Amino acid sequence: MTINAEQPIHFSRTHRLQWEEAQQKNVILYPEGMVELNQSSAEILKLCDGTRTLAQIVSTLETTFNTSGLTNDITAFLEVAIQNGWINQN
Amino acid sequence: MAGLIKTKPTPPRWLLAELTYACPLQCPYCSNPIDYANYKTELDTEDWLRVLTQARKMGAVQLGFSGGEPLTRKDLPELVKHARELGYYSNLITSGYGLTEEKIIQLKEAGLDHIQVSIQASSQELNDHIAGTASFTHKKEVAHLVKKHGYPMVLCVVIHRENIHQMPEILAMAEELGADYLELANTQYYGWAHINRNLLLPTQAQFEKAEAIAQAFKEKVAGKMKIYYVVPDFYEDRPKACMNGWGTTFLTIAPDGVALPCHSARELPGLECPNVKDYSIEEIWNESKAFSYFRGIEWMKEPCSSCDEKEKDFGGCHCQAYLLTGDMHNADPVCSKSPHHGVIQDAIDAAAQSALSTNEKPLVFRNSKNSKLLS
């Protein structure tokens, strides 16, 4: 499964992304399971709000962190995310 | 030991709240203790609210409302609401019996995240026989309603000799119902399943055939449905890493408030499992004898203590060691390194013998009458 460049990306309605104080980490929660996220993964997923396309997510993060060349890393992560059902496009 | 620095245990992540032992179903592989009918008291609402708050504060995040049948508790919506406010991801583990559309909406509004519905087989006749209750049609309707109201839908089917031949139909049923997750749980032989083992344990050939069918299906539905396959450990060479390590991750609270490191641990002798009415969750987790008993590797004897896989499976399951060897300190006999490993083959042979026998004993159903007779 790959990311469609034209369509906006939204976080799955059957998963929950939340900050865990005890672990000092963002986590994805789903039926009987949990994935612990590192900071950059969490920042990407927070932008998957159904309004931004891949290119827009990349440019937002490049602006926020004052850097460039993030396209490949972000694309690779989002492909993992869509395969795991954490995000959707439709 | 003097001078030994005690490291603080990792905090609980998973809280299983067994709200009640009451259940309208009578499944003969129920994981509740055989003598459940002797435990008549149930925690009240205030106790449960306090337990949820204390465990969350320590870091528990996944919460299972289970039983028995948790829907028999009138205060379930109140507990769900409190759990949501605390930030738990709450899972309702139900037979679906007594679940109406009105209740599904009420629980959604209270903040319930997910409903797991169990179905006993793919046909009405077998489902209703195993459940000991006419429930098949209603369960399928509940599964539809769960989907309709936007919950992720998890279908759970416990697999054993009576239904393992239905694997293709079970998978088709899950697809038809639109399950997001399908849990295919091979029976684990504790509690009621231990009593009924000769009638429930499939042969290795049956296991392998069913597993191959499930595996092919898993590839077919990848991206649409996730399959959780609970392995049948009697046909494994190494034991499961039970509870992800004793007292590391999982905390079960039984209906009467007894805190257990695993939901079967009530049957282990001499653990003195503490009650939430007497101690806080923090005291129970960090200081009780029961929760530290099998933590780490210090408790181990041979063949575990010198085994290079001891940090991988932690010696396996203590309840299984106790049930099958009489000593919970022994290695799980599923392990081929265990000197008691022969008991597994004996169990497999006895079950195969029983399947061929013309006067097979009937299943012992899980109900209060049988519980009192057997305890």
A3 lies in some domain: no
Residue A89 covered by a domain: no
A16-20, strands of its sheet edge to edge: A16-20, A25-30, A33-37
Domain presence at residue A23: yes
Tens of pLDDT along B40-81? 899 999 999 999 999 999 999 999 999 999 999 999 999 999
In a domain, A38, yes or no: yes
Rounded Cα–Cα distance for residues B318 and B145 (Å): 39
Tell me if chain B has a CB within 8 Å of the CB of A33.
Answer: yes
Counted domains in chain A = 1
Distance CA B274, CA B253 (A): 10
Size of interface A-B (CB pairs under 8 A): 47
Structure tokens at B349: 């042979």
B66 inside 8 A of chain A by CB: no
CB-CB neighbors (< 8 A) of A13 in chain B: 150
| Rounded Cα–Cα distance for residues B219 and B224 (Å) | 10
R_g (Cα) of chain B, nearest Å: 21
Q: What is the pLDDT of residue A32?
A: 82
Q: What single-letter amino acid sits at B66?
A: S
DSSP string, B238-278: S---GGGSTTTSEEEE-TTSBEESSTTGGGSTT----BTTT
Structural domain including A72 reads 10-84
Whole-number pLDDT of residue B120: 94
Residue B111 has a pLDDT of 96
pLDDT at residue A2, rounded to an integer: 86
Q: Evaluate the omega torsion of the peptide bond into residue B87 and state whether it is cis, within 30 degrees of 0.
A: no
Per-residue pLDDT at A1 exceeds 90: no
Residue B6's pLDDT is: 58
Is residue A4 assigned to a domain? Answer: no
Q: How far apart are the first and last CA of chain A?
A: 13
Count how many residues are written for chain B: 375
Q: Closest Cα partner for A44 from A54, A34, A33?
A: A54
Q: Please indicate, yes or no, if residue A46 is contained in any of the structural domains.
A: yes
CATH number of the CATH domain containing A63: 1.10.10.1150
* Cβ distance of A29 and B89 shorter than 8 Å: yes
Q: Using the 8-state DSSP alphabet, how is residue B180 labeled?
A: S
Positions of chain B with pLDDT lower than 70, given as ranges? 1-7
pLDDT at A68: 93
Cβ–Cβ contact A17 with B under 8 A: no
Interface probe with B: pick from A11, A30, A83, most Cβ of B within 10 Å? A30
A49 within a domain of the structure (yes/no): yes
Cβ contact (<8 Å) for A1 and B223?
A: yes
Grouping H, G, I as helix, E, B as strand and the rest as coil, residue A12 is coil
Pick A23's closest partner by Cβ from B59, B89, B181.
B59
* B79 in Cβ contact with B47 (< 8 Å): no
Cβ distance of B180 and A14 shorter than 8 Å: yes
What is the spatial distance between Cα B283 and Cα B55, in angstroms, rounded to a whole number?
A: 11
Tell me, what's the pLDDT at B358? 75
Q: Which token pair is B295?
A: 């933590």
The answer to whether position A47 is within a domain reads yes
Q: Which of A16, A27, A83 shows the shortest C-beta gap to B113?
A: A16
**Residue burial B107-129, b: 16+ Cβ < 10 Å; e: rest:** bbebbbbbbbbbbbbbeeebbbb
